[in-house]
Structure 1
Amino acid sequence: MNIKQVRDLTLIDIDEERYIGISCDSCGGIGEKEHDTIKASSVIVGEQTAKVVLAELLSMGFQPLVLSDGLAVEMNDTGKNIIKGFNNTINLLKNTNVHLTGSTEENAKTVQTSIGTTGVGIIDKAKLKYKKTSKNDICVSIGLPLVGPDVIANPDKIMTITDYETLKNCDFTNEIVPVGSKGISYELDTLCQCNSLKFKYSDYISIDLNKSGGPSCSCIVSISEKNLDKLKALISINIEVLGKFY
């Protein structure tokens, strides 16, 4: 059995045609508990944490199957509210039935919110959205890279799991990369390296290329320039052309 790391996913060969994909994420110090440094609704924390793991799977073309929440908090009431958030995100998926499993901490009092999340998905190898970017493709950013309180204050400016599912199902999206804590510039550099390409940035770019993307609030997508209007018709939040691959 062959196991390899591709971007943020672990890929496992299960036969000649299919991969199992495993994604993971963590969230700590964000919530309603005494020692949380960023105060936020436990439901929202659950929604955004679940989104990150599912977005990583969807972005590479996987069909999510299982989502696990390892909650280092008590079930009543913090755990229940986080689980509600997880289910809220899962229920936004239109073409996927995801099974939720997990655990809570019932043996010790917790004073800070902490979550570990794992997602499992499956894909036909031919459909993997990896190393599919070509010379003369353009790269666009979707959503805004936001983190902390800005995520809560700007829900209309960030990627939802529905957006990620829409992009996954488009036959004209070559590669989709959620923006992580290292920012757009890092993700774009990595995309170039994977495809043995270089990149020419647009003369004017309004977004911060080095800012953390928070909980997958934005992503970058490589597409043929002729499909830009199709993309804009599908996605209602901010789309900005960053430049072209060469």
Structure 2
Amino acid sequence: MMAIKDPENHLKKIRDVTLFQMNKEQYLMIACHSNAGMGNKAADFVNVPEESIAQFAVRDPLFEIIALRGKPFYINESLTVEFDPTGKKISEAIKDYVCESGITDDIQFSCSTEDYIPTIQTGIGITVLGLVNIKDFQTARTEHGDVLAVVGKPKCNLHDKVNIDDQDIISLSEINLIHKLPYVHDIFPVGAKGIQHELDRFTVETNLEILLEGQGEIDFQASAGFSTCVIISLPRSQVTNLRNYIQSPVNIIGSIK
């Protein structure tokens, strides 16, 4: 393999993922997320178990990589808490959650904690690395006549009581399944900025016009917190098949001219 010169020239961005072209065949994918003020410490704004917020925190970068057909393989945890007991609980919860994506070995994780300064608020920083074959990396696959559907519902710990097993939110196993379905064209995880924000990014990325429908069934402005739902494009004829595969709600919100 030839040495890489001027590595900054090998970088590009798509959505919230940075791509580094390693060779003619592969991109290294980099996605990150941070979360603060949620946990069991004295100054946390939202009181939730450390294990719960840990698993939610890793969803955003993990889902971004999976949505672009990448294979996640490494997770870095930068935690602004002491290792024992808080950091240990967070790290173990993340490992339990991501194992179904093939991230199972200790070498696939690194963790840094704050063990010098006492902390009174929980903070989590997550970086996920993935790989994708360039030949498989295609965005804007959506076709004329496709419909846009929201899988899951927008929910946020600030306004809703949400747990990782909530059947209203898309699960890790479901996005792992959806991205392999040949009739699913594009996948856009929805985060804190809501469905409308991702629809705006969709129109820029695909250069396609959306005809909205079903707006009364789902709030386009509501925060989806930690990627509690995704927008997908697919043929209308395949929506029933999709619903047979997954438990999360599927709502059609538009179609492509």
Same fold, TM-score > 0.5, yes or no: yes
For residue 240 of structure 1, report the CA deviation from its aligned partner. Answer: 0.3
Aligned residue for 1:157, secondary structure, equals coil
Q: Could you tell me which of 153, 163, 171 is aligned with 1:144?
A: 153
For residue 150 of structure 1, report the CA deviation from its aligned partner. Answer: 2.5
2:211 is matched by which residue type in structure 1?
K
2:114 is matched by which residue type in structure 1?
E
Distance in 2, Cα, partners of 1:129 & 1:69:
29
Q: Could you tell me which of 31, 36, 40 is aligned with 1:32?
A: 40
- Aligned pair 1:124/2:129, yes or no? no
Distance in 2, Cα, partners of 1:49 & 1:171:
29
Query: TM-score, normalised on structure 2?
Result: 0.91
- Aligned pair 1:232/2:232, yes or no? no
Aligned residue for 2:217, secondary structure, equals coil
Instruction: Check whether the contact 1:59–1:129 (CA below 8 A) recurs between aligned residues.
Output: no
Distance in 2, Cα, partners of 1:35 & 1:239:
37
- Aligned pair 1:69/2:77, yes or no? yes
Q: Could you tell me which of 13, 17, 26 is aligned with 1:5?
A: 13
More off after superposition, 180-189 vs 125-134: 125-134
Seq. identity, %: 25
**Could you report, residue by residue, the CA deviation over 1:78-125 in whole angstroms, capped at 9, with x for unpaired residues?**
1111112101211233x5556121111111000000011000000111
Length, aligned pairs only: 245
More off after superposition, 153-162 vs 83-92: 153-162
Q: Please list every run of 5 or more consecutive structure 2 residues that lacks an aligned counterpart in the other structure.
A: 1-8
**Could you report, residue by residue, the CA deviation over 1:143-200 in whole angstroms, capped at 9, with x for unpaired residues?**
1110014323972211221111111222221111110111101101211111111101
For residue 226 of structure 1, report the CA deviation from its aligned partner. Answer: 2.0
Distance in 1, Cα, partners of 2:230 & 2:61:
14
Instruction: Check whether the contact 1:141–1:219 (CA below 8 A) recurs between aligned residues.
Output: yes
Aligned residue for 2:163, secondary structure, equals helix
For residue 8 of structure 1, report the CA deviation from its aligned partner. Answer: 0.6
Distance in 2, Cα, partners of 1:153 & 1:45:
9
Instruction: Check whether the contact 1:142–1:218 (CA below 8 A) recurs between aligned residues.
Output: yes
Q: Please list every run of 5 or more consecutive structure 1 residues that lacks an aligned counterpart in the other structure.
A: none
Aligned residue for 2:12, secondary structure, equals strand
Aligned residue for 1:171, secondary structure, equals coil
Query: TM-score, normalised on structure 1?
Result: 0.95
Match of 1:133 in 2: 142
Match of 1:189 in 2: 200
Q: Could you tell me which of 201, 209, 218 is aligned with 2:229?
A: 218
Match of 2:86 in 1: 78
Aligned residue for 2:117, secondary structure, equals coil
Distance in 2, Cα, partners of 1:153 & 1:51:
10
Q: 1:154 to 1:124 in 2, by over 3 A?
A: closer
Distance in 2, Cα, partners of 1:210 & 1:154:
23
Q: 1:203 to 1:39 in 2, by over 3 A?
A: closer
Aligned residue for 1:223, secondary structure, equals strand
Q: 1:218 to 1:141 in 2, by over 3 A?
A: same
Mapping of residues 158-197 of structure 1, within 5 Å: 158-197=169-208
For residue 126 of structure 1, report the CA deviation from its aligned partner. Answer: 2.1
In the TM superposition, structure 1's runs of 4+ consecutive aligned residues that sit over 2 Å from their partners are: 95-98
Instruction: Check whether the contact 2:55–2:164 (CA below 8 A) recurs between aligned residues.
Output: no
- Aligned pair 1:56/2:67, yes or no? no
Instruction: Check whether the contact 1:129–1:175 (CA below 8 A) recurs between aligned residues.
Output: no
More off after superposition, 166-175 vs 41-50: 166-175
Distance in 2, Cα, partners of 1:138 & 1:203:
12
